[in-house]
A and B are shown apart, each in its own frame.
Chain A
Amino acid sequence: MYFVAAYDVDERRVGKMLKIFRRYLTWVQNSVFEGELTEAQFAELKAEAEALMDPATDSVIFWNLQAQKYCDRETLGQERGTTGRML
Chain B
Amino acid sequence: MKRPYYLFSNGRLCRNQNTLCLERATDARSPGAEVAGDRLPLSEIPHRINPESPTGGDGAPQGQSDPAEEPVATGAGRQRDEDAASQEESGAVSNSLTSDDGQPSGELTGESIPFPIESAESIYCFGEIDVNSKLVSFLSKHHVPLFFFDYYGNYTASLYPKEHLLSGRLTVEQVRHHTNQERRLRLARSFVEAALANIRRVLRYYASRLEEGTEGIEEAIRKIESIKKRAQEAEGPATLMGLEGQARRRYYRTWPTLLGGAGENFSFERRSRQPPSNPLNALISFGNSLCYSVALRQLYHTALDPTVSYLHEPGDRRFSLALDLAEVFKPLLVDRAIFRLVKTRQIQPDDFEERLGGVYLTESGRKTFVEHWDERLRQTIEHRRLERKISYERLVRLDAYRLTRHLCAPEDDPYEGFEMWW
- Flag whether B22 is at the interface (Cβ < 8 A): yes
Selected from B6, B18, B367, the residue in CB contact (under 8 A) with A85 is B6
Do A22 and B19 have beta carbons less than 8 Å apart?
yes
- Flag whether B4 is at the interface (Cβ < 8 A): yes
Contact with A along B1-34 (1 / 0, CB 8 A): 1011111110000000111001000000000000
Do A86 and B116 have beta carbons less than 8 Å apart?
no
Selected from B17, B19, B119, the residue in CB contact (under 8 A) with A41 is B119
Selected from B3, B8, B118, the residue in CB contact (under 8 A) with A87 is B8
**Interface class of chain B by DSSP:** mixed
Do A23 and B19 have beta carbons less than 8 Å apart?
yes
Interface residues of A, count at CB 8 A: 17
| CB of A9 to closest CB in B, whole Å | 18
**Interface class of chain A by DSSP:** mixed
Do B6 and A38 have beta carbons less than 8 Å apart?
no
- Flag whether B420 is at the interface (Cβ < 8 A): no
**Beyond A19-B17, A19-B18, A22-B19, is A85–B118 a contact (Cβ under 8 Å)?**
no
Contact with B along A1-45 (1 / 0, CB 8 A): 000000000000000000100111111000000011110010010
B-chain residues with CB within 8 Å of residue A27 when the two chains form the complex: 114
Q: Which of B63-118 contact A (CB under 8 A)?
A: 113-118
Do A26 and B118 have beta carbons less than 8 Å apart?
no
User: Bound complex: CA of A5 vs CA of B115, how far in Å?
Assistant: 15
- Flag whether A66 is at the interface (Cβ < 8 A): no
| CB of B420 to closest CB in A, whole Å | 26
| CB of B124 to closest CB in A, whole Å | 10
A-chain residues with CB within 8 Å of residue B371 when the two chains form the complex: 86
- Specify the chain B residue showing the minimal Cβ separation from A44: B118
List residues of chain A with CB under 8 Å of any chain B CB. Answer: 19, 22-27, 35-38, 41, 44, 82, 85-87
12 A-B pairs with C-beta separation under 8 A: A22-B18, A23-B19, A23-B118, A24-B119, A27-B114, A35-B116, A35-B119, A36-B1, A82-B115, A86-B367, A87-B5, A87-B9
